[in-house]
Amino acid sequence: MCSKAGEKPTCMGAASVLYLVKIFKDYASKDQDKDHLSKAELKDLLKNEFSGLVDDSKPEDINKIMAALDHDMDGQVDIQEYMVTLCGLGIAIFEAGKGQCAKKK
């Protein structure tokens, strides 16, 4: 679905990808290193953008999530690690949805 407002159509699929990149940039830019999310920046991002989808309510959750994202274990999250995790999240959501459909049959 694309909205024709303005000179260039904005399609929701494209807008969704662009938004996911934008929030990485916004939160990663809070400190000097604009290309990586620190643990604190990741915590803010999850709370403000993924609450309800990712549970980080308990203090130790952020360490588990950080460990899951930080594949090269450098204590921060780069764009590749971030996007690969969102990719896994999307696949998990799709597979979970298929499971529910199978139960309904």
List of residues contacting its own copies (CB under 8 A): 1-2, 8-21, 23-25, 35, 45, 48-54, 79-80, 83-84, 86-91, 93-95, 97-98
Going by C-alpha positions, the residue among 65, 16, 70, 68 that lies closest to residue 45 is 65
Closest separation between CB of residue 11 and its own copies, Å?
Answer: 5
> What CA–CA distance (Å, rounded) separates 74 from 86?
19
Residue 14 or 67 with smaller CB distance to its own copies:
14
Nearer to its own copies, 67 or 89 (CB): 89
93, HSE (Cβ side, Cα atoms, 13 Å): 9
